[in-house]
Amino acid sequence: MRLTVDHRTTYRFSSPQGRLIQLLRLTPGGTDGQAVANWGIHVDCDARMRHGRDGFGNRTTMLYVEGPVESIEIEVSGEVLTHGSDGVLHGAVEPLPPALFRRTTVLTESDAALAAFAGDAVSGQGDAVGRLHALNLALHDRFTLDRGRPVAGRTAAQAFALGTATSRDLAQIYTAAARALDVPARYVSGYSTACFAGDVSPAPHGWAEAHVEGLGWVAFDPCTGLCADEAYVRVAVALDSAGAAPVAGSRLGEGDEELDVDVMVEKGQ
């Protein structure tokens, strides 16, 4: 499948900023299941960019802008060729052992209610893959999808207590629930037509990967209750959504900022 991505992030500041430093996790890497046909990052002002990788193996771009800056628009666009693999990940850069992804964070810490739900969801399921599928489907059935912008700093436990959840919330809930079952799991950020086909999304998509001994990392999306397939572009992984955030950084200057994000993903021929 050929997926076309157009992702625009715009910051507007109430007072001119003296300097901006941004860490961008906006560039997908190649795996056995996806190949980047073309990809570019464009900024509407004079900026320096330095490319590299972070500790999770994600492709990164450091963005430096000298002020005064009243606004900045970061546009990402490109095409990625994908094919189905039943959700099983092969060929990704993996600098860290799976066991590290049993580690919890503030955003993915489980509570008693979430841990009990995870245990009930997998009860009676035979093998490891079946248990993870059952957990995915149980979360899909429990929540109504919130198509709005994710709430910054919302934890998995806080989101679990609600009746609706964004894709980011669901991915973090799945990650926390899997770890409560002693399964290595991680948050994935990227793009997909799965939940916003033909529509503009207010944020990149989020899903989860869980590690199965002897099989490897398997991608699960509680938004659909299914494994991630060829309709997904995998960009970054981390212990939680903050570690895989598409844009993070700092600014030198006073005042408030206003953020607008538009993401469009379309299927090609």
The rounded distance, in Å, linking the Cα atoms of 217 and 34 is 15
Mean of pLDDT over the chain: 95
The pLDDT of residue 269 is: 61
The rounded distance, in Å, linking the Cα atoms of 99 and 180 is 13
What are the Cα distances from residue 172, in Å, to 89, 101, 114, 179, 247? 19, 13, 12, 11, 18
Region 107-133 average pLDDT: 95
pLDDT tens for residues 20-72? 999 999 999 999 999 999 999 999 999 999 999 999 999 999 999 999 999 99
The pLDDT of residue 200 is: 81
What are the Cα distances from residue 98, in Å, to 40, 41, 176, 211? 31, 31, 15, 7
For residues 166 and 179, the answer to whether their CB atoms sit within 8 Å is no
Model confidence at 136: pLDDT above 90 = yes
pLDDT tens for residues 178-224? 999 999 999 999 999 987 766 788 889 999 999 999 999 999 999 99
The pLDDT of residue 197 is: 67
| Strand residue runs (E) in 44-150 | 48-53, 59-82, 144-145
The rounded distance, in Å, linking the Cα atoms of 49 and 52 is 10
Cis peptide upstream of residue 222 (ω within 30 degrees of 0): no
Which of helix, strand or coil describes residue 10?
strand
How many Cα atoms occupy the beta-carbon half-sphere of 88 within 13 Å? 9
Q: Domains in the chain and their CATH numbers?
A: 2-80+247-267 (2.60.40.2250), 84-238 (3.10.620.30)
Give the predicted TM-score (pTM) of the model.
0.95
The pLDDT of residue 206 is: 97
* Both structure tokens of 264: 């469009």
The pLDDT of residue 246 is: 96
Please tell me the least confidently modeled range out of 28-37, 59-68, 143-152, 154-163: 143-152
- Of the candidates 73, 192, 172, 174, the residue with the CA atom closest to the CA atom of residue 132: 174
For residues 1 and 267, the answer to whether their CB atoms sit within 8 Å is yes
